[in-house]
């Protein structure tokens, strides 16, 4: 069903995009991975994370092939490093 989803960006993705949250209009059959690829088309700086990206829809981890529907919240979580002893 066509509509809008909210995309939340974390860590390096948020830094590169200059935003922690954005809206994306979607159509039928769009997956979490498709949504990421659409963002990369809009802003090439977000490219390069697909192989290691974690996806969450409505606060539950999902696979990249999970279908989205209007009103969903998609979180894109790149790998993070660091921490201390």
pLDDT (tens digit per residue) in 12-58: 999 999 999 999 999 889 999 999 999 999 999 999 999 999 999 99
Mean pLDDT of 60-74: 97
The answer on pLDDT for 83 being more than 60 is no
Q: How does residue 79 score in pLDDT terms, banded at 50, 70 and 90?
A: confident
3-state secondary structure of 62: strand
Q: Catalogue all structural domains in the chain, each as residue range(s) with its CATH number.
A: 3-77 (3.10.20.30)
**What is the rounded distance in angstroms from the CA atom of residue 33 to the CA atom of residue 71?**
17
3-state secondary structure of 12: helix
């Amino acid at each position: 069903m066509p509509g809008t989803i909210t995309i939340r960006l974390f860590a390096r993705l948020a830094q590169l995009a200059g935003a922690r949250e954005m809206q994306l209009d979607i159509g039928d059959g769009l997956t979490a991975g498709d949504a990421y690829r659409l963002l990369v088309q809009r802003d090439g700086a977000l490219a390069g994370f697909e192989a290691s990206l974690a996806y969450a829809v409505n606060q539950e981890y999902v696979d990249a092939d999970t279908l989205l529907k209007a009103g969903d919240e998609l979180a894109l979580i790149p790998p993070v490093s660091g921490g201390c002893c």
